Amino acid sequence: MGSSDRADGPAIELREVSKRFGGRAVIDGTSLTVGRGEFLALIGPSGSGKSTLLKLVSGIESPDSGRVLLSGQDVTEQPPYRRRVHTVFQNYALFPHLDVAGNVGFPLRMAGVDRRTRSARVAQALDWVELGPFASRRVEALSGGERQRVALARALVSESEAVLLDEPLSALDPHLRTQTLELLQDIQERLKVAYLYVTHDREEALRAAHRVGVLNQGRLEQVGPPEEIYRRPVSPFVASFIGPINWLSGERSEQGDGWVELSGGPRVPTTSRTLPAGPKLLLGVRPQDLWLGLEGFLGARIVGRQFSGTSVSLRLMSELGVPLTAELRADVETPPVGTDVRVSWSPEEAHIFGVAP
Amino acid sequence: MGSSDRADGPAIELREVSKRFGGRAVIDGTSLTVGRGEFLALIGPSGSGKSTLLKLVSGIESPDSGRVLLSGQDVTEQPPYRRRVHTVFQNYALFPHLDVAGNVGFPLRMAGVDRRTRSARVAQALDWVELGPFASRRVEALSGGERQRVALARALVSESEAVLLDEPLSALDPHLRTQTLELLQDIQERLKVAYLYVTHDREEALRAAHRVGVLNQGRLEQVGPPEEIYRRPVSPFVASFIGPINWLSGERSEQGDGWVELSGGPRVPTTSRTLPAGPKLLLGVRPQDLWLGLEGFLGARIVGRQFSGTSVSLRLMSELGVPLTAELRADVETPPVGTDVRVSWSPEEAHIFGVAP
Amino acid sequence: MKGPAAWPPLIYLVAFFLVPTCLVASYSLRARDFSGHIRAEASVEGWREATGSYSMPILGRSLALAGAVTAACLVLGYPCAMVLARQPKGQRRAWVVLLSFPLVTSQLLRIFGWLNLLPLSLRGTTWGVGLVMAAAYLPFMLLPLLRACERVDPDVRLAALDLGATPWQAFHRVTWPLTRPGAIAGCSLVFIPAAGEYLIPHFIGEGKVTVLGTMIVEEFMERRNWPFASAAAMVLLIVIVVPAAVSIRLSGKGPRARPGGASE
Amino acid sequence: MKGPAAWPPLIYLVAFFLVPTCLVASYSLRARDFSGHIRAEASVEGWREATGSYSMPILGRSLALAGAVTAACLVLGYPCAMVLARQPKGQRRAWVVLLSFPLVTSQLLRIFGWLNLLPLSLRGTTWGVGLVMAAAYLPFMLLPLLRACERVDPDVRLAALDLGATPWQAFHRVTWPLTRPGAIAGCSLVFIPAAGEYLIPHFIGEGKVTVLGTMIVEEFMERRNWPFASAAAMVLLIVIVVPAAVSIRLSGKGPRARPGGASE
């Protein structure tokens, strides 16, 4: 079961894959490549098809059209137990009648690995997830975090090229998520295994993945490195989903390109890149990119203030009647609630999209 | 049932209350006052006695010693159904056999309010929580967020002076928490009702409450406004619990007060206030208060980098062998992993505590 | 989601339940010859006898007996179930096993034990039969009641107290409505077999307590009046199906007692 | 948490189960006079007869019959339960109600229905008795099996396939071990009452199939050999208690099939 039988090609490749359930396209002509040793995170709201995409890769579902390739081999027609890719299920799906070693060794046993090799490799996999002394524990006696790591060890133990992770942190307590994510990252780097990681938590994806894909209604809207997705979203959906944002509507100024006329308000400058085509424009600025001062594009009144330790977030009511949120560093003195201020932003930080009328 | 029968005094007052379960003091001589119309959040790790404290106020548990006062009246000996304070339970504890209006009207029905008045006040309470059209819905047909609001309306409908909230957001999806917290805040301000709000999420408490109390092993370590708790924690426990922090150990410098000698490393300046007494000192600096540059107190190497949208967090290994975390704004250019930098901080932002040897 | 067609249990129901029932129904509408053999031609004589002046008092006695047994089981079982539901989980499980014991050990053994325990004045009386039936059927009441009580979120009762309900109001307005489906299930499980009980009236009644069960056996086996016996069995089925249908209706409408967590 | 003391169910168990059982046990160790009356002095004559050359073949036949009925129910019930567990929740609930129907409607009615359905060649034979018993007891097997199948997290089977198990391996290594406690419970619920069954051998066997249940009734009621009948009842109890205790042990050790979520 060494690496000699591996074909060339990316760890996972989907080519124009579609899947319908009851007439509805859950995955709609999606192509995606996960390179060898790459950590790719897929994010999207519930119902966007994230989990279905994983099932198409693992073989639990088969696509209506399109091809699925693992390490360059077409596995579209193969049942799940022939595909050399394992899944970390959202609820872990551990075998409650087996102990930790029995769970982790299951894939090896199914592959016919002899007992002695098996126990050595199980011990190794448990070391990766820092559960060395837990081999003979009952699964029921484990905490949520420990179960999660058993599920991970079970998916890693046969050293296949790719592991699928279905919202692996969602059942964990918030305070465990950060450290578990770091463990996932460390293992991924150490073993050079490819991760296809599904989550609905944008911060997890941005923090940990090499590339992030944003799914919306069965279609991949954008795939790219985290900072690219965050700084240059290709659609209002991506911009909103990847982080909080203030939206202002407007249209192209008649006084020439580079200016946007906000609905019922002032003109604001933009960077010189050509504005999108739609007759209506949508201009988005993230809360931490808003500046408050005596000068600025827009008048606004501070109507609320929340301190969160690292930052202070101010709720503003702008002269346009649109509420805005600004997030300032907590160590900067902020004006009190009720103050009238003017709001501006750096034109480079404004995300502008055209919308159909 | 108007406000005429209310005595004077704070909405909730606990005087030296203790409660033991099986020999262990779960609440240990705690005094606490929640003023009229005040939003007080209690935070603490699990097992710190937060929920027990609420049960002592509602009367579900009675204290072994100490007094409980509501609106100035001693209710220590009264059963829960005589106390004019209602609870929003962590799992909502809605009555599954009653519809929404039946749930919200329950306290009024128990108080003998006639049907017509009842339905008017139920409608009003449902308006407060923006569930007006849901009166005749089955509880089972509601989403988690809607159930939470029904539980809130039920606790508010009899317009008592105080409402107890037991981790009201913990069963909600993360994306619902922010908006539900704002709704809770709005209602609290509008109705001038006192909230005693228990949570293990420090950010919720800091964002929303007028004052925050930190519970540790049945004792209130500190009570104060959020910014005071965050900026001037009275103990290492409070400093750690209220937000991430880097700890360095050291001792008082022999060269005079105002300097701390870090264990195995350099001297660092502090503000002129006298240092605490303990022979050993603990110096804490929050990740966002660390500066990286060519000059600084400590040498360190950047060993990891995570982008989270609004900020970049860098993992550092200091020359002391202690790992540090620095959090920088995402729009500032950060040095790549592997760079050697020097770390410093403003002496005002360092929290210094004495520790027993 | 539509699951796969459930053919195997359907076949079971039809072959093992529906067919025998229909056969009995068809016998109830036939005539008989004097040796007791069923003849081909139709007749309502069986039904006339089964609803006549001989049968109706027996039917009435059977239903009254079953009703009294059910009421006794409910009154005895509810406090037991409430107490058991508050036990820690492991102990509760052990209790369920212990309480299931009488269900599965030989009924005969207990009947003969009881026969000798009963005061002489109760042997061969309806009271004696009722007492033994209540003892025999209590577990059928207890187990569904216990399940219903377990399912009630304890916080819901605390919430009622917290919101101003006295302990009695909390029971009347919250605990009872939430456990009612279990009580209805328990009552059905006691009433239905009690109405057709044969063994206990036969052995404890010592031939002096005639109920539907003993009457049907007598007609089938001794008097060999099959149309009458079949019609009486059908009357019993009808008398049982009506309350069962009602109880399924009622418990089907009952709420799930423990509301699920927030779903995405 | 230690709950309140469970006195009411304890009293029930002692009064309604333990006392009658002990009474029968005491009778089994007494002598009798010729009219069948129990005398004061002790004797092991009852036990000698109950374990003698007349009784032992009957005991053997009863256990073999119960075992065969149990095996037939398991083989028929397992596929039914698997199919039902995959139905949507509402339909599953309706099926449970339908399948409970034969349990609660009059046994007599079905026995007489069967009596007339059975080919003449099977009436009065052990085969015929076994067939009717299997039909009657199948729901006792089906309901616990269905509950066990329902509790198996479907993702666990998918995980097995995902991790390289063929469908047969997934059944053999995962589904079966997880549903085994339900199978054991079902087997106990069938085997135990089947070993002591009286009604079906009595009516379907037409006096030609003697099993423990019919033998005990005959000795008690007709021959009035109470020490023998009591000892035979105790033998039945012992034969039943041993497998029951073993099955409780086994199912008590069985895992909870659906692992709970992460707890704090």
pLDDT digits (tens, 9 = 90+) for D236-262: 888 877 766 776 666 554 444 333 333
Chain D positions in Cβ-Cβ contact with residue A158 (cut-off 8 Å)? 164
SS3 A19: strand
**Residue of chain A nearest D262, judged by CA positions:** A144
**Residue of chain C nearest D248, judged by CA positions:** C97
pLDDT of the residue at D234 = 87
pLDDT of the residue at A258 = 75
H-state helical runs in B129-273? 144-156, 174-191, 202-208, 226-231, 236-241
Q: What b/e sequence results for C154-168 when a residue is b if at least 16 CB atoms lie within 10 Å of its CB, and e otherwise?
A: ebbbbbbbbbbbbee
pLDDT of the residue at D36 = 64
pLDDT of the residue at A194 = 95
- Measure CA of the first residue to CA of the last residue in chain C; give whole Å: 18
**Residue of chain A nearest B181, judged by CA positions:** A306
Of A257 and B350, the one with more pLDDT: B350
- All structural domains of chain C, each given as residue ranges with its CATH number in brackets, are 55-251 (1.10.3720.10)
Mean pLDDT (whole number) for A185-204:
91
B58, B97, B148: residue with CB nearest C162 = B58
Distance of CA A351 to the CA centre of its chain: 20
Above 50 in pLDDT, residue A130?
Answer: yes
Mean pLDDT (whole number) for A199-225:
92
Sequence-distant (6+) residues with CB within 8 A of C84 are C92, C95, C142, C146, C149, D6, D9
pLDDT of the residue at B9 = 82
Number of Cβ atoms within 10 Å of the Cβ of B337: 12
Chain C positions in Cβ-Cβ contact with residue B89 (cut-off 8 Å)? 155, 158-159
**DSSP assignment string, D17-57:** IIHHHHHHHHHTTEEE-TTS-EEEEE-SHHHHHHTSTTHHH
pLDDT of the residue at A305 = 85
Q: Which of B39, B5, B20 is nearest to B196 (CA)?
A: B39
Q: Which of A40, C90, C38, B287 is nearest to D112 (CA)?
A: C38
Chain A positions in Cβ-Cβ contact with residue D177 (cut-off 8 Å)? 97
pLDDT of the residue at C255 = 41
A282 φ, ψ (degrees, to nearest 5): -120, 125
CA distance B142 to chain A (A): 18
pLDDT of the residue at A272 = 59
Above 80 in pLDDT, residue D66?
Answer: yes
pLDDT of the residue at D243 = 64
Cβ contact C20–D113 (<8 Å):
yes
Chain C positions in Cβ-Cβ contact with residue D229 (cut-off 8 Å)? 112
% of chain A residues with pLDDT over 70: 95
CA pair distance A128, A255, nearest whole angstrom: 62
CA distance C9 to chain D (A): 6
pLDDT tens, per residue, chain C with 264 residues: 444 566 777 887 777 778 888 888 888 888 877 666 677 778 888 888 888 889 899 999 999 999 999 999 999 999 888 888 888 887 887 788 777 777 666 677 778 778 777 888 888 899 999 999 998 888 889 888 998 998 898 899 999 999 999 999 999 999 999 999 889 888 888 888 898 888 899 888 888 889 988 998 888 878 888 888 888 888 888 887 776 677 666 655 444 433 333 333
Q: Which of A326, A308, A173, A174 is nearest to B203 (CA)?
A: A308
Question: By the 8 A CB rule, do B234 and B220 touch?
Answer: no
| Cut 0.80: pTM above it | no
Residues paired with residue A41 on neighbouring β-strands, in sequence order: A197, A212
Q: Whose structure tokens read 């988005």?
A: A284
Residue C214 amino acid letter:
T
CA distance A96 to chain D (A): 6
* Highest mean pLDDT out of B171-175, D193-197, D218-222: D193-197
Q: pLDDT grade, residue D5 (50/70/90)? A: low
Sequence-distant (6+) residues with CB within 8 A of A57 are A12, A14, A68, A70, A85, A162, A164, A196
D12, D86, D108: residue with CB nearest C198 = D108
Q: What b/e sequence results for C200-211 when a residue is b if at least 16 CB atoms lie within 10 Å of its CB, and e otherwise?
A: bbbbbbeeebbb
Mean pLDDT (whole number) for A100-105:
94
Above 80 in pLDDT, residue A5?
Answer: no
Cβ contact B158–C164 (<8 Å):
yes
Chain A positions in Cβ-Cβ contact with residue D178 (cut-off 8 Å)? 95-97
Mutate to test the interface with B, among A190, A310, A345 (most CBs of B within 10 A): A310
Q: pLDDT grade, residue D264 (50/70/90)? A: very low
pLDDT of the residue at A35 = 94
CA pair distance A42, A90, nearest whole angstrom: 14
Query: How many residue contacts between B and C have a Cβ separation below 8 Å?
Result: 91
Above 50 in pLDDT, residue A257?
Answer: yes
Cβ contact D20–C114 (<8 Å):
yes
| CATH superfamily ID and name for B244-354 | Nucleic acid-binding proteins (2.40.50.140)
pLDDT of the residue at D255 = 41
Portions of chain B given CATH number 3.40.50.300: 12-236
Cβ contact B306–A208 (<8 Å):
yes
CA pair distance A19, C168, nearest whole angstrom: 56
pLDDT of the residue at A349 = 86
Sequence-distant (6+) residues with CB within 8 A of C98 are D9, D13
CA pair distance B154, B132, nearest whole angstrom: 13
CA pair distance D262, A170, nearest whole angstrom: 10
Mutate to test the interface with B, among C151, C153, C161, C163 (most CBs of B within 10 A): C163
Question: How many Cα atoms occupy the beta-carbon half-sphere of D99 within 13 Å?
Answer: 27
Which of A322-331, A345-354, B207-216, B270-279 shows the lowest mean pLDDT across its residues? B270-279
B→A interface, C-beta within 8 Å: 174, 201-203, 206-208, 226-227, 230, 242-243, 286, 288-289, 306-311, 327, 329-331, 349
Chain A positions in Cβ-Cβ contact with residue B170 (cut-off 8 Å)? none
Cβ contact D163–A93 (<8 Å):
no
Neighbours of chain C (3+ CB pairs under 8 A): B, D
pLDDT of the residue at A354 = 84
Distances (CA, A) of C169 to B176, B245, C159, C255: 35, 51, 12, 19
Q: Which of A30, A311, A14, A39 is nearest to A189 (CA)?
A: A39
Cβ contact B158–C169 (<8 Å):
no
Residue C18 amino acid letter:
L
Above 80 in pLDDT, residue A162?
Answer: yes
Chain C positions in Cβ-Cβ contact with residue B93 (cut-off 8 Å)? 153, 155-156, 158-159
Tokens coding A156? 């890693």
Cβ contact A207–B327 (<8 Å):
no
pLDDT of the residue at B220 = 93
Number of Cβ atoms within 10 Å of the Cβ of A95: 23
Sequence-distant (6+) residues with CB within 8 A of D189 are C104, D137, D140, D141, D144
CA pair distance D186, D180, nearest whole angstrom: 10
SS3 D73: helix
D84, D108, D189: residue with CB nearest C104 = D189
Neighbours of chain D (3+ CB pairs under 8 A): A, C
Chain A positions in Cβ-Cβ contact with residue B289 (cut-off 8 Å)? 331
CA distance B90 to chain A (A): 15
What is the block-wise mean pLDDT of chain B (357 residues), using blocks of 10 residues? 56 94 88 94 88 93 93 92 93 93 94 92 93 90 90 93 92 80 91 93 90 93 93 91 90 75 82 72 90 89 86 89 88 83 89 80
Report yes or no: B7 at the C interface, CB cutoff 8 Å: no
Chain C positions in Cβ-Cβ contact with residue B86 (cut-off 8 Å)? 162-163
D166, D259, D262: residue with CB nearest A94 = D259
Q: pLDDT grade, residue A23 (50/70/90)? A: confident
Above 90 in pLDDT, residue D1?
Answer: no
Query: How many residue contacts between C and D have a Cβ separation below 8 Å?
Result: 220
pLDDT of the residue at C35 = 67
Q: Which of A280, A277, A270, A285 is nearest to A322 (CA)?
A: A285
Chain D positions in Cβ-Cβ contact with residue A81 (cut-off 8 Å)? 161-166, 169
Cβ contact A329–B288 (<8 Å):
yes
Residues paired with residue A207 on neighbouring β-strands, in sequence order: none
**Residue of chain C nearest B95, judged by CA positions:** C156
Question: How many Cα atoms occupy the beta-carbon half-sphere of A100 within 13 Å?
Answer: 26
Chain D positions in Cβ-Cβ contact with residue A93 (cut-off 8 Å)? 153, 155-156, 158-159
A207, A330, A331: residue with CB nearest B307 = A207
Q: pLDDT grade, residue A255 (50/70/90)? A: low
CA pair distance A240, A245, nearest whole angstrom: 6
Residues paired with residue B42 on neighbouring β-strands, in sequence order: B198, B213
Q: Which of C129, C143, C73 is nearest to C101 (CA)?
A: C143
Report yes or no: B1 at the C interface, CB cutoff 8 Å: no
Would you report the helix, strand and coil content of chain C in percent, each value rounded to 5? 75, 5, 20
pLDDT of the residue at A47 = 81
C15, C99, C213: residue with CB nearest D108 = C213
Q: Whose structure tokens read 């006062």?
A: B69
Of D3 and B347, the one with more pLDDT: B347
pLDDT of the residue at B308 = 82
Chain B positions in Cβ-Cβ contact with residue C182 (cut-off 8 Å)? none
CA pair distance C212, C230, nearest whole angstrom: 12
SS3 D102: helix
CATH number of A12-236: 3.40.50.300
C256, C261, C264: residue with CB nearest B96 = C256
Residues paired with residue B252 on neighbouring β-strands, in sequence order: B260
Portions of chain A given CATH number 2.40.50.140: 244-354
- Let me know the angle formed at the C-alpha of A134 by A129 and A140, rounded to the nearest 5 degrees: 105
C165, C178, C264: residue with CB nearest B96 = C178
Cβ contact C108–D196 (<8 Å):
yes
Report yes or no: B107 at the C interface, CB cutoff 8 Å: yes
Mutate to test the interface with C, among D16, D222, D224 (most CBs of C within 10 A): D16
CA distance A228 to chain B (A): 10
Residue positions counted in chain D: 264
Cβ contact A207–B174 (<8 Å):
no
pLDDT of the residue at D41 = 79
Edge to edge, the sheet with strand A24-34 lists: A24-34, A12-21, A65-70, A73-74
- Let me know the angle formed at the C-alpha of D92 by D86 and D95, rounded to the nearest 5 degrees: 125
